[in-house]
Chain A
Amino acid sequence: MNDYLWGITLGAFLVLVLAFIGYYVIAKKCGDVKYDERQRAGRGKAFQAGFFTLLISGAIVSILNYMDVLPGSDFVWQMAALVVGIAVFALTAIHFDAYVGMTDTPKRFIIMGSFFTAAMILSAIGNFLADEKDNHDIGFINLILAVIWMLIVVALLIHNRKKTEDEE
């Protein structure tokens, strides 16, 4: 195993440990996230939309890769297809008012999303300034993630505004 694979393996392990700890800290602080029946139905539609988008975008990228017409790294395009599927799930869930749980507030997601957008943009700049080609690929992925997070934050802000106007 070379240094690169060791780096990826340790990085993935670290992310898993942090996600595990983060999940328990959030779960302890906020309690279980609950969705009512209307939201669960909305999440079902969102999962469906995200899943089929993932399948279709993955298939399109694979075909274009096979035809060798995509510029840049294959890895970036595969990641883009994956992220598009996740984004479609998130945006559809927001549209159906099923992204944020009953007991949760959109404010937390908006703050978290803004933080991730900024972090991804900074990371992309850092990667683009590096000399290595691999860093440029990761920079593109950072940019895609930044755009997706920004879309989610904007969608949440618009949805939240509509919800406030909809008050009795």
Chain B
Amino acid sequence: MKNLRLKAARAAKDLSQEELAKRCGVSRQTISAIEKGDYNPTINLCIAICKALDKTLDELFWQE
């Protein structure tokens, strides 16, 4: 399932996938894969992404 909330949060911060990837210490392809729903990140990476985007885990990754 696509993670549109992550994409929206990144766009709101005016960050490219490359910039977000650098802040989280992963490759751009990994961020792209998470946004497309092709890869389930570990909790550590989820936290790094949340910190980089000033969001909580619930806001970005919780699914109802």
Contacts and interface: CB of A to CB of B under 8 A. Distances in A.
A, B: real partners: yes
Interface residues of A, number: 9
- Interface magnitude class on chain B: 10 to 19
B23 to A, nearest CB: 13
Interface in B2-21: 16-17
A8 to B, nearest CB: 41
Interface in A25-67: 36-39
Interface in A142-168: 163, 166, 168
Contacts of A166: 29, 32
Contacts of A102: 26-27
Contacts, number: 29
Interface of A: 36-39, 97, 102, 163, 166, 168
Contacts of A168: 16-17, 32
Interface of B: 16-17, 25-27, 29-30, 32-33, 39, 41-42, 44-45
A94 B44 CA distance: 25
B64 to A, nearest CB: 26
A36 B17 contact: no
B42 A37 contact: yes
A97 B29 contact: yes
A36 B26 contact: yes
13 contacts: A36-B26, A37-B30, A37-B44, A38-B26, A38-B29, A38-B39, A39-B30, A97-B27, A97-B29, A102-B27, A163-B29, A166-B32, A168-B17
A38 B30 contact: yes
A38 B26 CA distance: 9
A90 B42 CA distance: 25
B32 A36 contact: no
Given A36-B26, A39-B30, 14 more contacts: A36-B27, A36-B30, A37-B42, A38-B27, A38-B30, A38-B33, A38-B39, A97-B29, A102-B26, A102-B27, A166-B29, A166-B32, A168-B17, A168-B32
A138 B33 CA distance: 43
A65 to B, nearest CB: 42
A36 B41 CA distance: 11
